């Protein structure tokens, strides 16, 4: 089973991000846009995990949320990660970046205590809107058309998400959720 740890988004935020995707689609000639129901903020990608590993991940999540207090982030502007002539299109997050980094650090610490190696690259939080996108407009042009807004992302729980295919479609679904206890 392929899994990752995420902050799930409210329907309001997913609707907003979906509207951004619709505008971006008008400025692209191809790519794979994320399904609205799959939009999330990844805290830590794990990969393939056995049943025994899932138990250790759940334990790490429960230990981590005991140390955390709820906080709020906001959606931010658009960005891209360049991959040859294709891009990963994303929107950023802003607000309590220090709290988000603390969440990541606490999660990494507890994953480490439960036998998972530390992530090798720095945490770069973003909300992926699409992969392998072939833009035919400059990013600034898309942003001017959008009228970007700050949308609140309430962070008060962590979810262990499964990534699977259902009828040929990629689906992310929570298999374990832990609320912050403070």
Mean pLDDT of 19-25: 94
Which region, left, alpha or beta, applies to residue 110 given φ > 0 means left and ψ of -120 to 50 means alpha? Answer: alpha
**Tokens 């992926």 -> residue:** 128
* Coil/strand/helix, residue 85: coil
Burial class (CB in 10 A: 0-12, 13-18, 19+), 124: exposed
Least reliable range by pLDDT among 8-17, 64-73, 77-86, 131-140: 77-86
pLDDT for 4 equals 98
CATH of the domain at 72: 3.90.1140.10
Number of domains the chain is built from: 1
pLDDT grade for 83, boundaries at 50, 70 and 90: confident
Which entry of 28, 39, 40, 76 is annotated as an active-site residue? 40
* Coil/strand/helix, residue 171: strand
Domain that holds residue 27: 2-179
pLDDT at 139 over 90: no
Q: How far is CA 90 from its chain centroid?
A: 10
Instruction: Tell me if residue 110 is catalytic.
Output: no
Which entry of 2, 25, 36, 126 is annotated as an active-site residue? 126
In the sheet that holds 2-8, the strands lie side by side as: 40-48, 2-8, 157-166, 169-179
Instruction: Tell me if residue 27 is catalytic.
Output: no
pLDDT for 137 equals 86
What confidence tens digit (pLDDT) does each residue in 86-100 have? 789 999 999 999 999
Supply the pTM of this predicted model: 0.93
pLDDT for 140 equals 87
């Amino acid at each position: 089973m392929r899994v990752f740890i995420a902050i799930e988004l409210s329907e309001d935020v997913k609707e907003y991000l979906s509207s951004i995707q619709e505008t971006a689609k008008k400025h692209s000639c191809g790519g794979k846009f994320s399904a609205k129901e799959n939009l999330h903020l990844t805290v830590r990608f794990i990969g393939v995990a056995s049943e025994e590993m899932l138990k250790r991940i759940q334990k790490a999540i429960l230990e981590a949320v005991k140390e955390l207090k709820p906080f709020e982030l906001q959606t931010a502007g658009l960005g891209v990660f360049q991959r040859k002539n294709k891009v990963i299109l994303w929107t950023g997050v802003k607000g309590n970046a220090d709290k988000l980094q603390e969440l990541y650090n606490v999660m990494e610490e507890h994953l480490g205590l439960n036998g998972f190696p530390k992530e090798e690259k720095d945490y770069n939080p973003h909300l992926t809107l699409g992969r392998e996108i072939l833009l035919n407009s400059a990013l600034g042009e898309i942003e001017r058309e959008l009228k970007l807004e700050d949308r609140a992302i309430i962070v008060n729980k962590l979810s262990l998400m499964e990534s699977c295919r259902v009828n040929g479609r990629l689906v992310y679904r929570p298999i374990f959720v832990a609320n912050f206890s403070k």
